[in-house]
Amino acid sequence: MERFLAAVVQTSSGPDRARNLTRTGELVGEAAAKGAQLVVLPEVVAWRGPRDQEPAHTEPIPGPTSEAMASLACLHRIVLCAGSWLETAGERGRSFNTTCVFGRDGALLARYRKIHLFDVEIPGQVTVRESETRAPGAEPTTVETELGTLGLSICYDLRFPELYRRLARAGAELLVVPSAFTAPTGAAHWDVLVRARAIENQCYVLAANQSGRSPHGFADYGNSMIVDPWGTVLARAADTEGVVLAEIDRERLRRVRRELPSLANARLS
């Protein structure tokens, strides 16, 4: 499909899994009702709670959350990048942070495990050590769909441009970034990183973020965005739960790549 509507969904997920999935279903339904063919959800969309409770909330894929997401995709006949949730890793005390893509019939098209783990300490603002409870993935992942080729990533991955260049080299046209970016780091870097990944890889970027206050005690940034291959912000959410949409034009992407062929001109890899 050459032109279609895409949506990013912004949620305020917490430790109530049933509430999270119900609210996510409502927002996906809203996006589909407005004509979205591709919908992207945020990181840790199904459950988000204290780190010491994470082992009790991991699950296999297929499993309850993947089945719920597959049902949403099938119900609304959309391609769904289903945010992320905690996948059983086989390592005691640790899990993968995993995103899945589902087709219009609910089929699982791809799975990506977050490669870069958020181990950060900003005094007085944010202290997170994901590696204490999460295991890193290892494989960059693209997936061909009827809407174009998606390049998959999650949140902190956004700071590592080499991942996105590999995705672009593998054919990605749309880069999806389910996220839970914190307010301090988001205010400083979210916009410039999302736009940079779009510009340098000449791709659309769909970045869906969490909003509100996280269970870990700090604020999320919100500001979910859709950015075109020229770096233009096509849609931006506020700081509450909701949906924003924009048109994806694959001919525009090809035109940008043709007129300013930086990908073709690259000398280093």
Task: Give domain status of residue 267, yes or no.
Answer: no
**pLDDT in the model for residue 127:** 65
Task: Give domain status of residue 266, yes or no.
Answer: no
Task: Give domain status of residue 269, yes or no.
Answer: no
Task: Give domain status of residue 112, yes or no.
Answer: yes
| Confidence band of 158 (pLDDT split at 50, 70, 90) | very high
Give catalytic residue positions. Answer: 43, 114, 155
| Confidence band of 125 (pLDDT split at 50, 70, 90) | low
Residue 120: pLDDT above 90? Answer: no
**pLDDT in the model for residue 122:** 64
- Give tens-digit pLDDT for 8-27: 999 999 999 999 999 999 99
Average pLDDT over residues 196-221: 93
Task: Give domain status of residue 195, yes or no.
Answer: yes
Output the domain CATH number for residue 213: 3.60.110.10
Contacts of 7 (CB under 8 A, 6+ apart): 31, 34, 36, 38, 39, 40, 243, 244, 245
CB 243 within 8 A of CB 30: yes
Task: Give domain status of residue 66, yes or no.
Answer: yes
pTM above 0.85, yes or no: yes
CB 258 within 8 A of CB 231: no
Task: Give domain status of residue 148, yes or no.
Answer: yes
- Give tens-digit pLDDT for 64-119: 999 999 999 999 999 999 999 999 987 777 899 999 999 999 999 999 999 999 87
Domain extent, residue 80, equals 3-259
Average pLDDT over residues 204-228: 93
Number of independent structural domains in the chain: 1
